[in-house]
Chains A and B, each alone.
Chain A
Amino acid sequence: MLNENTRLITDDQQVAAKVMDGEAILINLSNGLYYSIAGTGGMIWSLIENGYSLEEIADTLSRQFSVPKQEVISDVRQLASKLLSESLVTVGDSDASANTDSSLPHDVSTSYETPTLKKFDDMADMFALDPPLPGLADAPVIENPKRSQE
C-alpha cells in the first residue's frame, strides 16, 4: 500500500507533535503513549506535516545531507509504516501537492542519521489524569440527532 507517492496525514486532534532540538516528539492524546523520532526525525515530521510525499521527503533529505536517495527512501518507508501501525498518521491523497512555501525547521544535525521511532508508556497514567483539551476552533463536530431535528 505504501509507495513513493504516498502522502501521510497528521491529525492534531489525536496526536500532538512538536519538534525540539531536531527531534520530533509525538503524543497520542487518546492513550497517553508518547514517541520520539530521533536522527533526522524532526525534519521528516515537518515535511510530513507539510504534505510531502515519501519520495519528496527522501529527495529533500538526500539533497540536504548529500546521501544516496535509495538509502534514504528505504528509511523513510520504514518509518512511515511504523507511524501508520502506531496510528500516528493516516494515508492521504497522493495527488495532493506539498506545501513547499512554509519554512522548514533548520535541522540541527549536520549529517544524516537513520530516523528511529521510539515508543514510551511511562507517562500514560499522567496523561490519563488531566487529559489535554482539544483546541477550541477544531473541536470535533459530533452529529447530534436530537439537535438536528429541532
Chain B
Amino acid sequence: MSDKHHLVSCIIPVYNGERFLAEAIDSILSQTYKVTEIVVIDDGSTDGTPDVVRGYGNRLRYARQTNAGKSAARNHGIRLATGEFIAFLDADDLWHSEKLARQIDRFIARPELGYCLTHRQNFWVSERAGEAARLQDHRLTEAHPGTASTFIARTECFNLVGPLNDRLKNRDIQEWMLRADRLGVVREVMPDVLVSRRIHDSNESRQRRKEEWFDIIKQSLDSKRQNKSGK
C-alpha cells in the first residue's frame, strides 16, 4: 500500500435510529479521508429511519432486513461491502473528522496490522445529564479504549476469522476479537480519542450487555475444561 486510495466501507447498523442517524452519517461525510462507501443496514426499523436515509440520495447504500439484531446487520453490511477495509459506526455515535485518516495511516505504516481500535469519549444525552453529573469522577467519563464505532479491519480479516457471531447482540465484536487473537491477527489500540459515544441507553439494555459477558465467559470456561479432559 503506497497511497491513500483504499476504499473504506463504513457500515452503520440501525434500528429505530431516526433521532441520531443523520449526525452519524454526517460524521462520515465530513471525514478528512474521503475514499469511503457508506452502507446503512436497517434492521427492520419502524420509525422514520428510511426517510433519514432517503435524504442522502445516492451518497449511501441502504439495505433493509427483518429485525435480527445489530450483529446480523453488521454481517449483512460486510457481505455488501466492496471496500478494502471494513469500519463500523453505531447510528448514535460520532466519528471525529480525522478518525479514518489516522487509522489508515497506521495500516500503511504497519502492513502486518489486521485491525485497529481507538479511544473514545462518552457523552450523555440531555435527558441523562443527571447521570453524567453523578459519574463526574468515574472512569467512564474519561476517554477509554472502545470497540464498535472505533473498529476498522482489513476486509480480508473477515475471510480468515469469519463473520461476527450474530447470536450475540452486543459483545459480538469482542467475541470476534477473541477468535482473531487465537489466529494471530495483529491488533492495535490507538491512544487517540477519535470517537464520541452517546450514552442514552436504558437500564435494561445495560443489564443485557452484562449478561452477554457471562455467556462468553461461561463458554470460555467450558471449553477450557473440555480441553483439559481431552488431554
Contacts and interface: CB of A to CB of B under 8 A. Distances in A.
A132 B131 contact: no
Contact of A132 (B148, B213, B220): B213
Interface stretch (B46-54, B80-88, B133-141): B133-141
B189 A135 contact: no
Given A20-B214, A142-B137, A136 B203 contact: yes
Say whether chain A's binding surface is mostly helix, strand, loop, or mixed: loop
Contacts of B209: 132-133
Contact of A25 (B140, B189, B221): B221
Interface of A: 16, 18, 20-21, 23, 25, 27, 30, 34, 36, 120, 122-123, 126-137, 139-142, 144, 147
A130 to B, nearest CB: 5
B210 A132 contact: yes
B134 A142 contact: yes
Given A34-B217, A133-B199, A139-B131, A126 B177 contact: yes
Say whether chain B's binding surface is mostly helix, strand, loop, or mixed: helix
Given A20-B218, A130-B146, A135 B206 contact: yes
Contacts of A131: 139-140, 144
Given A18-B211, A132-B209, A133-B206, 6 more contacts: A30-B139, A130-B174, A131-B139, A133-B201, A141-B134, A144-B136
A134 B146 CA distance: 16
Interface string B119-160: 000000000000101111111100011111000000000000
Q: Which of B135, B189, B217, B218 has the most CB of A within 10 A?
A: B217
